[in-house]
A and B are shown apart, each in its own frame.
Chain A
Amino acid sequence: MTFPRPNGEKPLLSLRKVSYRYHTPQSEIEALREISFDVYPGEFLVLLGPSGCGKTTILSLIAGLITPSEGEIIRGSPEGSSLRIGYMFQHDQLFPWLTVLDNALLSPRIRKEPIRGKRAAAEKLLEEYGLGAFLNSYPRELSGGMRQRAALIRTLNADPDLLLLDEPFSALDYQTRITVSDDIAAIIRHEGKTAVMVTHDVSEALSLADRMLTLTRRPSEVRNVFTVDIPETGALARRASPRFGELYQAVWKEMTDG
Protein backbone atom coordinates (compact mmCIF):
# COMPACT_ATOMS: atom_id res chain seq x y z
CA MET A 1 0.00 0.00 0.00
CA THR A 2 1.93 3.04 -1.19
CA PHE A 3 0.62 6.41 -2.09
CA PRO A 4 2.79 8.21 -4.62
CA ARG A 5 2.13 11.89 -4.66
CA PRO A 6 0.37 13.09 -7.79
CA ASN A 7 3.15 15.56 -8.53
CA GLY A 8 5.64 12.70 -8.59
CA GLU A 9 7.61 13.93 -5.59
CA LYS A 10 10.20 11.45 -4.43
CA PRO A 11 9.68 10.10 -0.92
CA LEU A 12 12.34 10.80 1.71
CA LEU A 13 11.82 7.37 3.15
CA SER A 14 9.98 4.25 2.03
CA LEU A 15 9.13 1.12 3.94
CA ARG A 16 8.35 -1.86 1.71
CA LYS A 17 6.66 -4.86 3.33
CA VAL A 18 8.70 -4.48 6.47
CA SER A 19 8.20 -7.22 9.04
CA TYR A 20 9.91 -7.45 12.37
CA ARG A 21 10.10 -10.33 14.78
CA TYR A 22 11.89 -10.39 18.05
CA HIS A 23 12.86 -13.28 20.19
CA THR A 24 12.64 -14.02 23.87
CA PRO A 25 13.81 -17.30 25.41
CA GLN A 26 10.14 -18.28 25.70
CA SER A 27 8.89 -17.40 22.26
CA GLU A 28 9.18 -15.57 19.00
CA ILE A 29 7.01 -12.49 18.77
CA GLU A 30 5.81 -11.06 15.50
CA ALA A 31 5.71 -7.33 16.15
CA LEU A 32 5.22 -5.89 12.65
CA ARG A 33 3.75 -7.55 9.57
CA GLU A 34 4.38 -6.23 6.08
CA ILE A 35 4.30 -2.55 6.91
CA SER A 36 4.58 -0.29 3.86
CA PHE A 37 4.42 3.47 3.72
CA ASP A 38 6.25 6.48 2.35
CA VAL A 39 7.32 9.67 4.04
CA TYR A 40 7.46 12.74 1.81
CA PRO A 41 9.71 15.73 2.39
CA GLY A 42 8.14 18.38 4.59
CA GLU A 43 5.17 16.35 5.77
CA PHE A 44 4.08 15.55 9.29
CA LEU A 45 3.17 11.89 9.34
CA VAL A 46 1.57 10.33 12.38
CA LEU A 47 1.43 6.63 13.16
CA LEU A 48 -1.57 6.00 15.38
CA GLY A 49 -1.91 2.70 17.15
CA PRO A 50 -2.81 1.07 20.43
CA SER A 51 -0.20 0.79 23.18
CA GLY A 52 2.27 -2.01 22.63
CA CYS A 53 1.58 -2.37 18.92
CA GLY A 54 5.20 -1.78 17.95
CA LYS A 55 5.15 1.93 17.11
CA THR A 56 8.50 2.55 18.77
CA THR A 57 9.89 -0.45 16.87
CA ILE A 58 8.97 1.27 13.59
CA LEU A 59 10.94 4.34 14.66
CA SER A 60 13.95 2.21 15.63
CA LEU A 61 13.78 0.57 12.19
CA ILE A 62 13.63 3.93 10.46
CA ALA A 63 16.58 5.18 12.51
CA GLY A 64 18.52 2.07 11.57
CA LEU A 65 19.02 1.04 15.19
CA ILE A 66 17.56 -2.35 14.29
CA THR A 67 17.17 -4.10 10.93
CA PRO A 68 13.91 -5.55 9.59
CA SER A 69 13.37 -9.31 9.62
CA GLU A 70 11.92 -9.01 6.13
CA GLY A 71 11.28 -6.20 3.72
CA GLU A 72 13.20 -3.12 2.80
CA ILE A 73 13.69 0.40 4.03
CA ILE A 74 14.77 2.89 1.38
CA ARG A 75 16.24 6.09 2.73
CA GLY A 76 16.51 8.74 0.07
CA SER A 77 18.06 11.77 1.65
CA PRO A 78 18.14 14.91 -0.51
CA GLU A 79 21.88 14.71 -1.19
CA GLY A 80 21.86 10.96 -1.55
CA SER A 81 23.91 10.69 1.63
CA SER A 82 22.67 8.79 4.65
CA LEU A 83 19.56 10.18 6.23
CA ARG A 84 20.20 12.26 9.34
CA ILE A 85 17.79 11.26 12.07
CA GLY A 86 16.65 13.47 14.94
CA TYR A 87 14.90 11.95 17.93
CA MET A 88 12.42 13.29 20.43
CA PHE A 89 11.18 11.14 23.28
CA GLN A 90 8.40 11.07 25.82
CA HIS A 91 10.82 12.48 28.36
CA ASP A 92 12.86 15.35 27.03
CA GLN A 93 16.13 13.60 27.96
CA LEU A 94 17.89 16.90 28.43
CA PHE A 95 21.16 16.26 30.21
CA PRO A 96 20.65 17.78 33.67
CA TRP A 97 24.36 18.49 34.13
CA LEU A 98 24.53 20.66 31.00
CA THR A 99 23.10 24.12 30.45
CA VAL A 100 20.39 24.61 27.85
CA LEU A 101 22.97 25.92 25.37
CA ASP A 102 25.37 23.04 26.02
CA ASN A 103 22.52 20.60 25.56
CA ALA A 104 21.79 22.20 22.21
CA LEU A 105 25.47 21.86 21.28
CA LEU A 106 25.65 18.12 21.99
CA SER A 107 25.41 17.03 18.36
CA PRO A 108 28.19 19.27 16.96
CA ARG A 109 30.39 18.28 19.89
CA ILE A 110 29.76 14.58 19.23
CA ARG A 111 30.40 15.08 15.52
CA LYS A 112 33.47 17.17 16.31
CA GLU A 113 32.20 19.97 14.13
CA PRO A 114 33.68 23.45 14.57
CA ILE A 115 31.72 24.73 17.52
CA ARG A 116 31.74 28.48 16.91
CA GLY A 117 29.32 28.57 14.02
CA LYS A 118 27.09 25.98 15.63
CA ARG A 119 27.01 27.95 18.84
CA ALA A 120 25.73 31.01 17.01
CA ALA A 121 23.12 28.89 15.23
CA ALA A 122 21.99 27.30 18.48
CA GLU A 123 21.80 30.66 20.24
CA LYS A 124 19.75 32.03 17.36
CA LEU A 125 17.32 29.10 17.46
CA LEU A 126 16.97 29.30 21.23
CA GLU A 127 16.37 33.03 21.07
CA GLU A 128 13.91 32.70 18.22
CA TYR A 129 11.85 30.23 20.19
CA GLY A 130 11.76 32.10 23.46
CA LEU A 131 14.62 30.50 25.34
CA GLY A 132 17.08 33.37 24.85
CA ALA A 133 17.00 34.22 28.55
CA PHE A 134 17.76 30.63 29.50
CA LEU A 135 20.91 29.89 27.48
CA ASN A 136 22.95 29.34 30.61
CA SER A 137 20.17 27.91 32.75
CA TYR A 138 20.01 24.27 33.68
CA PRO A 139 17.05 22.17 32.47
CA ARG A 140 15.63 21.93 36.00
CA GLU A 141 15.00 25.68 35.94
CA LEU A 142 12.66 25.34 32.93
CA SER A 143 8.97 24.42 32.77
CA GLY A 144 7.91 21.15 31.14
CA GLY A 145 6.90 22.89 27.92
CA MET A 146 10.12 24.90 27.72
CA ARG A 147 12.11 21.74 28.31
CA GLN A 148 10.46 19.99 25.36
CA ARG A 149 11.17 23.06 23.25
CA ALA A 150 14.82 22.99 24.33
CA ALA A 151 14.95 19.28 23.50
CA LEU A 152 13.51 19.99 20.04
CA ILE A 153 16.07 22.74 19.44
CA ARG A 154 18.86 20.38 20.47
CA THR A 155 17.54 17.92 17.87
CA LEU A 156 17.10 20.62 15.21
CA ASN A 157 20.63 21.83 15.81
CA ALA A 158 21.81 18.41 14.63
CA ASP A 159 20.34 19.42 11.27
CA PRO A 160 18.25 16.26 10.79
CA ASP A 161 16.56 15.31 7.53
CA LEU A 162 13.89 13.46 9.42
CA LEU A 163 12.50 13.93 12.93
CA LEU A 164 11.27 10.89 14.83
CA LEU A 165 8.89 11.79 17.63
CA ASP A 166 8.18 8.98 20.08
CA GLU A 167 5.07 10.08 21.98
CA PRO A 168 6.84 13.31 22.87
CA PHE A 169 3.91 14.82 24.77
CA SER A 170 2.46 11.92 26.70
CA ALA A 171 4.40 12.65 29.88
CA LEU A 172 2.82 16.11 30.14
CA ASP A 173 -0.48 16.84 31.84
CA TYR A 174 -3.47 17.35 29.55
CA GLN A 175 -3.50 21.13 29.21
CA THR A 176 0.25 21.48 28.93
CA ARG A 177 0.18 18.73 26.35
CA ILE A 178 -2.14 20.65 24.04
CA THR A 179 -0.21 23.91 24.24
CA VAL A 180 3.18 22.23 23.98
CA SER A 181 2.18 20.07 21.02
CA ASP A 182 0.83 23.19 19.30
CA ASP A 183 4.11 24.93 20.01
CA ILE A 184 6.39 22.07 18.94
CA ALA A 185 4.44 21.36 15.73
CA ALA A 186 4.58 25.06 14.82
CA ILE A 187 8.36 25.06 15.20
CA ILE A 188 8.72 21.89 13.13
CA ARG A 189 6.57 23.36 10.33
CA HIS A 190 8.33 26.70 10.52
CA GLU A 191 11.70 24.99 10.12
CA GLY A 192 10.30 22.98 7.20
CA LYS A 193 11.24 19.66 8.78
CA THR A 194 9.84 16.26 7.94
CA ALA A 195 8.51 14.39 10.93
CA VAL A 196 7.20 10.98 11.81
CA MET A 197 5.40 10.87 15.13
CA VAL A 198 3.92 7.89 16.92
CA THR A 199 1.08 8.22 19.39
CA HIS A 200 -1.92 6.35 20.76
CA ASP A 201 -3.93 9.55 21.17
CA VAL A 202 -6.45 10.09 18.33
CA SER A 203 -7.02 13.79 18.94
CA GLU A 204 -3.32 14.49 19.28
CA ALA A 205 -2.72 12.70 16.00
CA LEU A 206 -5.46 14.64 14.22
CA SER A 207 -4.37 17.96 15.64
CA LEU A 208 -0.83 17.60 14.26
CA ALA A 209 -0.79 15.32 11.22
CA ASP A 210 -0.78 16.04 7.52
CA ARG A 211 -1.25 12.35 6.99
CA MET A 212 -2.03 9.62 9.42
CA LEU A 213 -1.59 5.87 9.37
CA THR A 214 -3.62 3.72 11.71
CA LEU A 215 -2.06 0.50 12.93
CA THR A 216 -3.65 -2.68 14.20
CA ARG A 217 -2.81 -4.55 17.36
CA ARG A 218 0.20 -6.87 17.31
CA PRO A 219 1.21 -8.22 14.86
CA SER A 220 0.86 -4.71 13.63
CA GLU A 221 -0.28 -3.96 10.11
CA VAL A 222 -1.26 -0.71 8.43
CA ARG A 223 -5.02 -0.56 8.79
CA ASN A 224 -5.78 2.63 6.93
CA VAL A 225 -4.31 5.90 5.73
CA PHE A 226 -6.04 9.21 6.36
CA THR A 227 -5.24 12.48 4.71
CA VAL A 228 -5.89 14.91 7.49
CA ASP A 229 -7.55 17.66 5.43
CA ILE A 230 -8.33 20.04 8.24
CA PRO A 231 -7.99 23.56 6.87
CA GLU A 232 -6.74 25.05 10.16
CA THR A 233 -3.05 24.60 10.84
CA GLY A 234 -2.52 25.21 14.56
CA ALA A 235 -3.05 22.24 16.86
CA LEU A 236 -5.40 24.29 19.02
CA ALA A 237 -7.39 25.73 16.13
CA ARG A 238 -7.70 22.32 14.57
CA ARG A 239 -9.39 20.88 17.59
CA ALA A 240 -12.20 23.39 17.16
CA SER A 241 -12.67 22.60 13.47
CA PRO A 242 -15.82 20.73 12.33
CA ARG A 243 -13.65 18.54 10.08
CA PHE A 244 -11.67 17.48 13.16
CA GLY A 245 -14.86 16.09 14.68
CA GLU A 246 -15.76 14.17 11.53
CA LEU A 247 -12.34 12.60 11.21
CA TYR A 248 -12.27 11.84 14.91
CA GLN A 249 -15.54 9.93 14.60
CA ALA A 250 -14.30 8.00 11.58
CA VAL A 251 -10.98 7.06 13.17
CA TRP A 252 -12.55 6.22 16.49
CA LYS A 253 -15.13 3.97 14.83
CA GLU A 254 -12.42 2.14 12.93
CA MET A 255 -10.17 1.73 15.97
CA THR A 256 -12.96 0.28 18.09
CA ASP A 257 -14.42 -1.95 15.37
CA GLY A 258 -11.73 -4.47 16.10
Chain B
Amino acid sequence: MIPVLSDEHKAYIREKTKEKRTVSALRAAIILLFFLLWEAFTRIGVLDPFIFSSPSRAFRCLYRMSLDGTIFRHAAVTFCEAAVGFLAGTVCGILIAMLLWWFPRAEKVLDPYLVVINSLPKIALGPVIIVWVGSGYSSILTVTLLVSVVCTVIGVLSGFREVDEEKLTLLRSFGAKKRQLFAYAVFPASIPAVISALKINVGMTWVGVIVGEFLVSRSGLGYLIVYGGQVFRMDLVMGSVLILCALAGVMYYAVGFAEKKAKRFLAD
Protein backbone atom coordinates (compact mmCIF):
# COMPACT_ATOMS: atom_id res chain seq x y z
CA MET B 1 0.00 0.00 0.00
CA ILE B 2 1.33 3.41 -0.92
CA PRO B 3 0.60 5.79 1.91
CA VAL B 4 -1.37 8.80 0.78
CA LEU B 5 -0.22 11.94 2.52
CA SER B 6 -2.72 14.63 3.32
CA ASP B 7 -1.82 18.18 2.38
CA GLU B 8 -1.62 19.06 6.03
CA HIS B 9 0.85 16.25 6.63
CA LYS B 10 2.91 17.27 3.59
CA ALA B 11 3.07 20.79 4.99
CA TYR B 12 4.18 19.39 8.33
CA ILE B 13 6.96 17.36 6.65
CA ARG B 14 8.02 20.43 4.65
CA GLU B 15 8.16 22.49 7.82
CA LYS B 16 10.30 19.82 9.53
CA THR B 17 12.71 19.58 6.62
CA LYS B 18 12.98 23.33 6.45
CA GLU B 19 13.80 23.55 10.14
CA LYS B 20 16.45 20.87 9.75
CA ARG B 21 18.02 22.73 6.83
CA THR B 22 18.00 26.02 8.70
CA VAL B 23 19.79 24.45 11.64
CA SER B 24 22.41 22.89 9.35
CA ALA B 25 22.85 26.18 7.50
CA LEU B 26 23.32 28.11 10.74
CA ARG B 27 25.86 25.55 11.93
CA ALA B 28 27.84 25.93 8.72
CA ALA B 29 27.51 29.71 8.93
CA ILE B 30 29.06 29.81 12.40
CA ILE B 31 32.17 27.89 11.38
CA LEU B 32 32.48 29.90 8.16
CA LEU B 33 32.08 33.17 10.02
CA PHE B 34 34.66 32.05 12.55
CA PHE B 35 37.24 31.37 9.85
CA LEU B 36 36.37 34.54 7.95
CA LEU B 37 36.70 36.78 11.00
CA TRP B 38 39.91 35.07 12.03
CA GLU B 39 41.35 35.55 8.55
CA ALA B 40 40.11 39.14 8.29
CA PHE B 41 41.35 40.20 11.73
CA THR B 42 44.82 38.84 11.05
CA ARG B 43 44.93 40.58 7.67
CA ILE B 44 43.85 44.03 8.88
CA GLY B 45 46.14 43.75 11.87
CA VAL B 46 43.65 43.43 14.74
CA LEU B 47 45.26 40.06 15.54
CA ASP B 48 48.96 39.43 15.11
CA PRO B 49 49.27 36.54 12.61
CA PHE B 50 52.60 35.64 14.15
CA ILE B 51 50.84 34.80 17.41
CA PHE B 52 47.37 33.77 16.22
CA SER B 53 48.27 32.37 12.81
CA SER B 54 45.37 32.49 10.34
CA PRO B 55 43.18 29.98 8.52
CA SER B 56 45.01 30.50 5.25
CA ARG B 57 48.39 29.94 6.89
CA ALA B 58 47.15 26.90 8.82
CA PHE B 59 45.63 25.31 5.73
CA ARG B 60 48.67 26.14 3.63
CA CYS B 61 50.84 24.51 6.25
CA LEU B 62 48.61 21.41 6.27
CA TYR B 63 48.69 21.33 2.48
CA ARG B 64 52.50 21.46 2.40
CA MET B 65 52.72 18.72 4.99
CA SER B 66 50.27 16.58 3.07
CA LEU B 67 52.49 16.71 -0.01
CA ASP B 68 55.23 14.67 1.64
CA GLY B 69 52.68 12.82 3.79
CA THR B 70 54.08 13.90 7.17
CA ILE B 71 50.76 15.20 8.43
CA PHE B 72 49.07 11.88 7.65
CA ARG B 73 51.79 10.01 9.50
CA HIS B 74 51.38 12.20 12.59
CA ALA B 75 47.59 12.08 12.44
CA ALA B 76 47.69 8.30 12.02
CA VAL B 77 49.98 7.90 15.04
CA THR B 78 47.67 9.97 17.21
CA PHE B 79 44.53 8.30 15.90
CA CYS B 80 45.95 4.83 16.52
CA GLU B 81 46.99 5.77 20.04
CA ALA B 82 43.52 7.16 20.66
CA ALA B 83 41.79 4.11 19.22
CA VAL B 84 43.92 1.64 21.17
CA GLY B 85 43.62 3.71 24.36
CA PHE B 86 39.88 4.03 23.88
CA LEU B 87 39.40 0.29 23.36
CA ALA B 88 41.71 -0.61 26.23
CA GLY B 89 40.01 1.88 28.57
CA THR B 90 36.59 0.60 27.59
CA VAL B 91 37.45 -3.08 27.90
CA CYS B 92 39.30 -2.65 31.21
CA GLY B 93 36.55 -0.39 32.54
CA ILE B 94 33.83 -2.90 31.69
CA LEU B 95 35.82 -5.78 33.17
CA ILE B 96 36.43 -3.90 36.41
CA ALA B 97 32.76 -2.89 36.57
CA MET B 98 31.82 -6.57 36.12
CA LEU B 99 34.08 -7.57 39.00
CA LEU B 100 32.61 -4.89 41.23
CA TRP B 101 29.08 -5.99 40.27
CA TRP B 102 29.98 -9.55 41.12
CA PHE B 103 31.44 -8.61 44.50
CA PRO B 104 29.12 -5.96 45.97
CA ARG B 105 31.21 -5.68 49.09
CA ALA B 106 34.28 -4.79 47.05
CA GLU B 107 32.23 -2.06 45.41
CA LYS B 108 31.15 -0.73 48.80
CA VAL B 109 34.71 -0.77 50.10
CA LEU B 110 36.25 0.78 47.00
CA ASP B 111 33.56 3.37 46.34
CA PRO B 112 35.32 6.35 48.03
CA TYR B 113 38.58 5.45 46.28
CA LEU B 114 36.83 5.37 42.93
CA VAL B 115 35.28 8.77 43.59
CA VAL B 116 38.61 10.30 44.60
CA ILE B 117 40.51 8.75 41.71
CA ASN B 118 37.77 9.93 39.37
CA SER B 119 38.11 13.54 40.50
CA LEU B 120 41.90 13.39 40.60
CA PRO B 121 43.43 14.93 37.49
CA LYS B 122 45.21 11.81 36.26
CA ILE B 123 47.50 14.05 34.24
CA ALA B 124 49.21 14.87 37.51
CA LEU B 125 50.60 11.35 37.40
CA GLY B 126 52.24 11.96 34.01
CA PRO B 127 55.81 12.40 35.24
CA VAL B 128 55.51 9.34 37.48
CA ILE B 129 54.23 7.27 34.61
CA ILE B 130 57.17 8.23 32.44
CA VAL B 131 59.47 7.00 35.19
CA TRP B 132 57.53 3.79 35.63
CA VAL B 133 56.77 2.65 32.08
CA GLY B 134 59.38 4.63 30.13
CA SER B 135 58.99 7.45 27.65
CA GLY B 136 57.30 6.08 24.57
CA TYR B 137 54.01 4.78 23.32
CA SER B 138 53.53 2.78 26.49
CA SER B 139 53.48 6.02 28.50
CA ILE B 140 50.90 7.58 26.21
CA LEU B 141 48.69 4.52 26.36
CA THR B 142 49.01 4.34 30.14
CA VAL B 143 47.97 7.97 30.55
CA THR B 144 45.04 7.46 28.16
CA LEU B 145 43.98 4.31 29.97
CA LEU B 146 44.15 6.03 33.35
CA VAL B 147 42.15 9.00 32.17
CA SER B 148 39.36 6.92 30.62
CA VAL B 149 39.09 3.82 32.75
CA VAL B 150 37.67 5.22 35.98
CA CYS B 151 34.78 7.09 34.41
CA THR B 152 34.00 4.00 32.36
CA VAL B 153 33.86 1.89 35.52
CA ILE B 154 31.54 4.35 37.24
CA GLY B 155 29.23 4.80 34.25
CA VAL B 156 28.98 1.11 33.41
CA LEU B 157 28.51 0.03 37.01
CA SER B 158 25.64 2.44 37.53
CA GLY B 159 24.10 0.92 34.38
CA PHE B 160 24.46 -2.57 35.85
CA ARG B 161 22.76 -1.39 39.04
CA GLU B 162 19.78 0.12 37.28
CA VAL B 163 18.44 -3.16 35.98
CA ASP B 164 14.87 -3.80 37.08
CA GLU B 165 14.93 -6.02 40.16
CA GLU B 166 11.80 -7.82 38.95
CA LYS B 167 13.64 -9.04 35.87
CA LEU B 168 16.19 -10.62 38.18
CA THR B 169 13.46 -12.12 40.37
CA LEU B 170 11.91 -13.61 37.26
CA LEU B 171 15.19 -15.20 36.20
CA ARG B 172 15.82 -16.43 39.74
CA SER B 173 12.40 -18.10 39.69
CA PHE B 174 13.69 -20.01 36.64
CA GLY B 175 16.67 -21.03 38.76
CA ALA B 176 19.20 -18.64 37.23
CA LYS B 177 22.69 -18.49 38.70
CA LYS B 178 24.47 -15.19 39.22
CA ARG B 179 26.43 -15.63 36.00
CA GLN B 180 23.17 -16.14 34.11
CA LEU B 181 21.57 -13.09 35.72
CA PHE B 182 24.46 -11.12 34.31
CA ALA B 183 24.46 -12.65 30.86
CA TYR B 184 20.69 -12.73 30.33
CA ALA B 185 19.57 -9.49 31.96
CA VAL B 186 22.16 -7.21 33.51
CA PHE B 187 24.54 -6.89 30.59
CA PRO B 188 22.07 -6.55 27.72
CA ALA B 189 19.90 -4.15 29.72
CA SER B 190 22.83 -1.86 30.41
CA ILE B 191 24.16 -1.59 26.86
CA PRO B 192 22.76 1.97 26.56
CA ALA B 193 24.53 2.92 29.79
CA VAL B 194 27.71 1.36 28.47
CA ILE B 195 27.50 3.37 25.28
CA SER B 196 26.81 6.60 27.19
CA ALA B 197 29.97 5.87 29.16
CA LEU B 198 31.81 5.37 25.88
CA LYS B 199 30.63 8.74 24.67
CA ILE B 200 32.20 10.46 27.64
CA ASN B 201 35.20 8.25 27.13
CA VAL B 202 35.85 9.59 23.64
CA GLY B 203 36.63 13.04 25.04
CA MET B 204 38.68 11.59 27.89
CA THR B 205 40.71 9.50 25.48
CA TRP B 206 41.76 12.49 23.40
CA VAL B 207 42.77 14.38 26.53
CA GLY B 208 44.90 11.41 27.56
CA VAL B 209 46.52 10.95 24.16
CA ILE B 210 47.40 14.60 23.61
CA VAL B 211 48.74 15.10 27.11
CA GLY B 212 50.72 11.89 26.75
CA GLU B 213 52.19 13.19 23.50
CA PHE B 214 52.95 16.54 25.12
CA LEU B 215 54.96 14.68 27.72
CA VAL B 216 56.92 12.12 25.79
CA SER B 217 56.38 11.68 22.11
CA ARG B 218 58.49 12.23 19.00
CA SER B 219 55.49 12.08 16.68
CA GLY B 220 51.76 12.63 16.61
CA LEU B 221 49.57 15.71 16.62
CA GLY B 222 50.33 16.47 20.26
CA TYR B 223 54.02 16.46 19.39
CA LEU B 224 53.41 18.81 16.43
CA ILE B 225 51.51 21.18 18.70
CA VAL B 226 54.26 21.29 21.31
CA TYR B 227 56.97 21.56 18.65
CA GLY B 228 55.08 24.30 16.79
CA GLY B 229 54.65 26.22 20.04
CA GLN B 230 58.34 25.98 20.87
CA VAL B 231 59.56 27.19 17.48
CA PHE B 232 56.71 29.71 17.18
CA ARG B 233 55.08 28.15 14.15
CA MET B 234 51.47 28.86 15.01
CA ASP B 235 50.26 27.68 11.61
CA LEU B 236 51.52 24.23 12.55
CA VAL B 237 49.81 24.40 15.95
CA MET B 238 46.48 25.57 14.54
CA GLY B 239 46.61 23.13 11.64
CA SER B 240 47.16 20.25 14.06
CA VAL B 241 44.33 21.42 16.27
CA LEU B 242 42.02 21.51 13.25
CA ILE B 243 42.90 17.91 12.38
CA LEU B 244 42.39 16.95 16.00
CA CYS B 245 38.91 18.48 15.93
CA ALA B 246 38.07 16.48 12.84
CA LEU B 247 39.37 13.19 14.28
CA ALA B 248 37.63 13.65 17.63
CA GLY B 249 34.44 14.54 15.78
CA VAL B 250 34.60 11.38 13.68
CA MET B 251 35.12 9.19 16.74
CA TYR B 252 32.32 10.89 18.65
CA TYR B 253 29.86 10.49 15.79
CA ALA B 254 30.81 6.84 15.38
CA VAL B 255 29.91 6.19 19.02
CA GLY B 256 26.79 8.34 18.67
CA PHE B 257 25.74 6.20 15.71
CA ALA B 258 26.24 3.03 17.76
CA GLU B 259 24.19 4.59 20.55
CA LYS B 260 21.30 5.28 18.19
CA LYS B 261 21.36 1.68 16.93
CA ALA B 262 21.50 0.28 20.46
CA LYS B 263 18.64 2.49 21.63
CA ARG B 264 16.49 1.29 18.81
CA PHE B 265 17.37 -2.32 19.53
CA LEU B 266 16.64 -1.99 23.22
CA ALA B 267 13.53 0.20 23.02
CA ASP B 268 10.71 -1.31 25.04
Total number of A-B contacts with CB less than 8 angstroms? 53
* A-B CB proximity, top 3 nearest: A96-B268, A107-B174, A110-B174
Asked if B173 and A87 make an inter-chain contact with CB atoms under 8 angstroms apart, the answer reads: yes
Given the known A-B contacts A95-B167, A139-B268, are A158 and B173 also in contact in the complex, defined by CB atoms under 8 Å? yes
- Beyond A110-B180, A140-B267, whether A95 also contacts B172 by CB under 8 A is no
- A95-B188, A110-B180 known; A158 and B174 CB under 8 Å? yes
- For B232-268 the 0/1 string (1 means CB < 8 A from A) is 0000000000000000000000000000000001111
B229 CB, min distance to chain A CBs, angstroms:
49
Q: What sequence of 0s and 1s flags, for each residue 94-135 of chain A, a beta carbon within 8 Å of any chain B beta carbon?
A: 111100000000110111000000000000000000000000
CB distance from B86 to the nearest CB of A (A): 25
Jot down 30 A-B pairs with beta carbons below 8 A, ordered by A: A63-B173, A65-B169, A85-B173, A86-B173, A87-B173, A89-B166, A89-B170, A91-B164, A93-B166, A93-B167, A94-B268, A95-B167, A95-B184, A95-B188, A95-B189, A96-B267, A96-B268, A97-B189, A97-B265, A106-B171, A106-B184, A109-B184, A110-B174, A110-B175, A110-B176, A111-B175, A139-B268, A140-B268, A158-B173, A160-B173
Q: Mark B129-148, 1 if CB is under 8 A from A, else 0.
A: 00000000000000000000
Asked if B47 lies at the interface with its beta carbon under 8 angstroms from chain A, I say: no
Bound CA–CA A63/B175 (angstroms): 11
Shortest B183–chain A CB gap in Å is 10
CB pair A110 B184 closer than 8 Å: yes
- The answer to whether the Cβ of B200 comes within 8 Å of any Cβ in the partner chain is no
Which residues of A does B touch, CB under 8 Å? Answer: 63, 65, 85-87, 89, 91, 93-97, 106-107, 109-111, 139-140, 158, 160
B185 at the binding interface (Cβ < 8 Å): yes
B266 touches A93 (CB 8 A): no
CA distance A57 to B180 in the complex (A): 25
Question: Given A91-B166, A95-B185, are A111 and B174 also a contact pair (CB < 8 Å)?
Answer: yes
Known A95-B167, A97-B189, A158-B173; further 5 A-B contacts with Cβ < 8 A: A63-B169, A87-B169, A96-B268, A106-B171, A110-B171
Give the residues from 185 to 211 in chain B that come closer than 8 angstroms, CB to CB, to chain A: 185, 188-189, 191
